[in-house]
Amino acid sequence: MCRIPRKIVAATALGVLALTRFRRTRRRGAVRSIATFTGADGESRMATLGRGRCVSVWDAGSGRRLRRLPVNDVPVHMAAFTSSTGVPRLAVLTAGRIHVWDPETGNRIGELGVRETGPASRLAAWRTPAGRPRVAVICSDAGIRVLDPETGEGDGVSLIGHEGAAVDLTAWHAPGGQLRLASSGDGVTLLWDPETGREVGRLEGPSKQLSSVTAHTAPERTLLVVIGRDGGYTLWDPDTEQQIASRRLPAGLEPGLAVPLPRLRVATGHRDGTVRVTDPATGDQLHETRFRKPVRTIAALPDGVAVGLDTGWRTVRLTENSAT
């Protein structure tokens, strides 16, 4: 059974952050990666993968499993994206392959061949200013490949700059409309123009071993939160490469266990089973939920976060109301 945590309410300058609901999966088993997306009906969906050769697609609101997607090899990571026609797609990374699925119908659309991938490889997906989808994959040869998931062809763009393999990456549209990609690893976060492969910036720290990079985009500017495995993190303005703040979280944060939330919040998952919501500008911890098992993966939902554990997945629903 799932242990129901006590309700936690934290007053902030923007309102009250409260845990509203806690849901458990209908099927047990380790969950190593979660991708979230919006279905054709406008409802929240999520895809999960564990240790088997199968990806499950769920209705995030009800917890009902909608379908299973069989994969020929053991999946490593996933990313959801929107096709050029505006329908959801799911990219599933295995050893040397990216499988592209329609998660709404269960149909496999195609696959892409990628070399030099391993268990630590990760995906990121975005749409170009022209509305074309792109997928980037971290390769074990210290490079990042950019691919077109609809044609199965590469853009001829490889992002080379890290001394070792990157551990995380994120893409965003800058306020001026430019497309940007950030990749973290070997103590540095590199900023890229993913359409040309040109390195456009370099952010040092906050430690030699980084775990994640998340982009928080607002109409006026984008901010990056770069987190190290020792718990230190830095808030950056990627346009000016200026450091906004430097704070600390508990140590032991593994790669990929941080996701951006609205209003410049970041949710992090920890090996001690804790999920924390933090204001990276002030360092204030706004919410904490503790599970009995280590957090293996985390993903943002419109009203909270989805958490992957050794015993299945959970959703932590968060609301912000006006403070009185």
* Residue 80 Cα distances to 52, 178, 279, angstroms: 20, 21, 26
- pTM here is 0.83
Q: Is the residue at 170 inside a domain?
A: yes
pLDDT tens string 240-259: 899 988 888 776 666 667 88
Edge-to-edge order in the sheet of strand 9-12: 9-12, 15-24, 312-321, 304-309, 297-301
Q: Work out the mean pLDDT of the chain and round it to a whole number.
A: 80
Q: Is the residue at 188 inside a domain?
A: yes
> How many domains are contained in the chain?
1
Domain that holds residue 34: 29-265
Mean pLDDT by 10 residues, the chain (324 residues): 32 34 54 90 90 88 90 84 93 87 92 72 88 87 83 70 81 83 88 89 83 80 85 87 85 73 86 88 88 90 90 84 28
| CATH code of the domain in which 70 resides | 2.130.10.10
Identity at 109, one-letter amino acid code: I
pLDDT at residue 219 in the model: 67
Q: Is the residue at 19 inside a domain?
A: no
pLDDT at residue 306 in the model: 92
Q: Is the residue at 276 inside a domain?
A: no
pLDDT at residue 118 in the model: 63
Q: Is the residue at 289 inside a domain?
A: no
| 90/174 Cα distance (integer angstroms) | 24
What are phi and psi for residue 227, nearest 5 degrees?
-115, 135
Q: Is the residue at 16 inside a domain?
A: no
